[in-house]
């Protein structure tokens, strides 16, 4: 059920995710807001990082200014806009937390600012915070371990399409990430 767009130059219909028109080969301006589609990778949490990187460099090379030296100002503009979109999509998809957030949004679960009301999580975080002050090194490895476990949990929640659980786990991941960044 891929969405279609109309080429601004020749008027032919083509899939929304295409960077170039198949008929006139002009660079396109309307790209999907779904960053997975934009990058041409599967819409899932467990992305192959190598495939993602490959898709990104492949797409980015196609919007490189060198390829548009003799193009019109309009095409140059679309190429540079697309390059920005692609870069943003790549930054989103390669970061597991941002990727999870985007995947939740796409499934109708927007994530707002963090305000977890989960008392179990809050107590766990408070304890970790205390331990961090007393024994930073050891606690950091404990937090890192819990972070990795939560990453596995969120991957499972996404593959089960359990978005409520994914959202809850994302909250936890964000807090743990923040603790790891603290010092």
Asked if 27 is part of the footprint of Zn ion (rule: CB under 5 A), the reply reads no
* Cβ–Cβ < 8 Å for 174, 97: yes
Whole-number minimum distance, CB 107 to Zn ion, in Å? 33
Asked if 7 is part of the footprint of Zn ion (rule: CB under 5 A), the reply reads yes
Strand blocks (E) in 67-113: none
Whole-number minimum distance, CB 28 to Zn ion, in Å? 8
Whole-number minimum distance, CB 8 to Zn ion, in Å? 8
CA nearest neighbour of 38 among 63, 65, 13: 63
Asked if 9 is part of the footprint of Zn ion (rule: CB under 5 A), the reply reads yes
CA-to-CA dists, residue 120 to 63, 116, 123, 158, 180, angstroms: 48, 10, 5, 22, 19
Contacts made by residues 107-116, CB under 8 angstroms, sequence distance 24+: 107/161, 107/163, 108/163, 109/163, 109/164, 109/166, 109/167, 111/167, 111/170, 114/171, 114/174, 114/175, 116/171, 116/172, 116/175
Looking at the Cβ atoms of 19 and 106, the one nearer to Zn ion is 19
Whole-number minimum distance, CB 86 to Zn ion, in Å? 20
Among 24, 43, 51, 123, binds Zn ion (CB under 5 A): 24
Asked if 10 is part of the footprint of Zn ion (rule: CB under 5 A), the reply reads yes
* Cβ–Cβ < 8 Å for 63, 118: no
Among 5, 18, 21, 28, binds Zn ion (CB under 5 A): 21
Asked if 43 is part of the footprint of Zn ion (rule: CB under 5 A), the reply reads no
Whole-number minimum distance, CB 120 to Zn ion, in Å? 56
Q: Which two tokens stand for residue 95?
A: 């970061």
Kindly indicate which of the ranges 22-30, 124-132, 151-159, 167-175 contains the residues binding Zn ion, using the contact rule CB under 5 A: 22-30
Kindly indicate which of the ranges 15-23, 88-96, 103-111, 152-160 contains the residues binding Zn ion, using the contact rule CB under 5 A: 15-23
Question: Would you tell me which residues interact with Zn ion (CB under 5 A)?
Answer: 7, 9-10, 21, 23-24
């Amino acid at each position: 059920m891929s969405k279609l767009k109309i080429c601004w130059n020749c008027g032919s219909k083509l899939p929304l995710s295409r960077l170039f028109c198949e008929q006139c080969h002009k660079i396109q301006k309307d790209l999907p807001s779904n960053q997975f589609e934009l990058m041409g990778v599967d819409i899932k949490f467990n992305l192959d990082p190598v495939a993602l990187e490959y898709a990104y460099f492949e797409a980015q090379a196609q919007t490189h200014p060198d390829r548009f030296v003799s193009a019109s100002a309009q095409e140059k503009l679309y190429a540079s806009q697309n390059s920005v979109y692609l870069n943003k999509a790549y930054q989103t998809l390669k970061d597991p937390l941002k990727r999870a957030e985007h995947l939740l949004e796409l499934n109708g679960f927007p994530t707002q600012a963090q305000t977890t009301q989960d008392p179990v999580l809050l107590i766990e975080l408070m304890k970790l915070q205390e331990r961090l002050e007393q024994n930073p090194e050891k606690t950091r490895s404990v937090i890192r371990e819990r972070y990795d476990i939560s990453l596995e949990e969120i991957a499972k929640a996404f593959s089960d399409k359990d978005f409520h659980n994914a959202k809850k786990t994302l909250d936890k991941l964000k807090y743990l990430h923040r603790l790891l960044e603290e010092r």
